[in-house]
Amino acid sequence: MPNIKEKLLEGLFETNAIRVCPADNPFWYTSGKIGPYYVNTHFLYGDEKKANELLSIIDNAKNKKRECSYIIFEKVIKNYNEQVIYKTAIDALAESINEHVDINEIDYISGGERRDWFFSLVTAHLLKKPHITIFKDMDAYIFSEGTSKKAGTIEGARVLHIADLITGASSYERAWIPAVKKISGNITYSFVIVDRLQGGAETLKNLGVVSHSLANIDTDVFKLAYEKKFISLDQYNLVCDYIKDPDKFMRNFFRDNPDFIIKALSGDEKTAQRARLCIEKGYCLLNNHSQ
């Protein structure tokens, strides 16, 4: 699948689904740490604006659980037929599933609220499988051929879960796997667009789920981005340093750029709050920079 995968990787950078910071200005994360990239896989829908529009539609639709799947499906199938980058992502996903799984051994495809639905509903349609739409409160509805019903028992059926992104697999552990078990099904496979390589696949393995991804957040992805001129050499080197040792990257950056934290503390409220958290957690020792 080299050609379609390469197109998908290009799409991740073209849509800013993977965004790398300028070499001298890393991003603040909600944890109070800093790092050189953001991953917003749902931007593959076309761009940030289109993705946010679909999120708004989902937020309105999810309160009408029976109608929710159809409302979203109508939007995503239309976009699949019109938006090249999104179609590439979905086709790559369907191709990867066919490559790694005997599709006859899968009874359902599932996706969890909200961003999984960007990818799971269309893929289920293409693979001719009913879709289990899982909500955060663990309610599940089965959507098939345009109609939706609250899930009863699915009697030991085998389920393949599609997600936009996997980090530590906490959503699977907390919600998606228990929700499918609640209706007497088993998630046996997980397919994601992006694996951040932060332990999620190992967690799933321990839960009896085989995990596959289309792209991993590793140096190879950023090497391709550099070769295709999506990022500069300085940005590529920055990302490689971070991937090697995120905490060491952070310590070295604060040491070499002592004004960075000071500027952040007097920045907008969101940035200042993350900078304060950084100091509270001991990631950056402010007194080293204020002398």
**pLDDT single digits (tens) 128-186:** 999 999 999 999 999 999 999 999 999 999 999 999 999 999 999 999 999 999 999 99
Per the domain annotation, does 44 fall within a domain?
A: no
What does the pLDDT read at residue 65?
A: 98
What does the pLDDT read at residue 285?
A: 80
Answer yes or no: do 70 and 35 share one domain: no
Answer yes or no: do 92 and 231 share one domain: no
Q: Which amino acid is at 35?
A: G
**pLDDT single digits (tens) 249-271:** 999 999 999 999 999 999 999 99
Answer yes or no: do 26 and 90 share one domain: no
CA angle 48, 142, 214 (to 5 degrees): 45
- Confidence tier at 3 by pLDDT (50, 70, 90): confident
- Confidence tier at 5 by pLDDT (50, 70, 90): confident
Strand 108-112 vs strand 158-166: parallel, antiparallel, or unpaired? parallel
Residues 6 or more apart whose Cβ sits within 8 Å of residue 25? none
Question: Do 180 and 135 contact (CB within 8 A), yes or no?
Answer: no
What does the pLDDT read at residue 6?
A: 87
Query: Helices (DSSP H) in the chain: which residue ranges?
Result: 2-14, 48-61, 65-82, 84-100, 117-126, 170-171, 177-182, 200-206, 219-227, 233-244, 246-256, 259-265, 269-280
Per the domain annotation, does 203 fall within a domain?
A: yes
What does the pLDDT read at residue 2?
A: 57
Domain that holds residue 244: 2-39+221-288
How many whole angstroms separate alpha carbon 290 and alpha carbon 44? 42
**pLDDT single digits (tens) 83-111:** 999 999 999 999 999 999 999 999 999 99
Total residues belonging to the chain: 291
Last residue of a domain, one of 160, 191, 216: 216
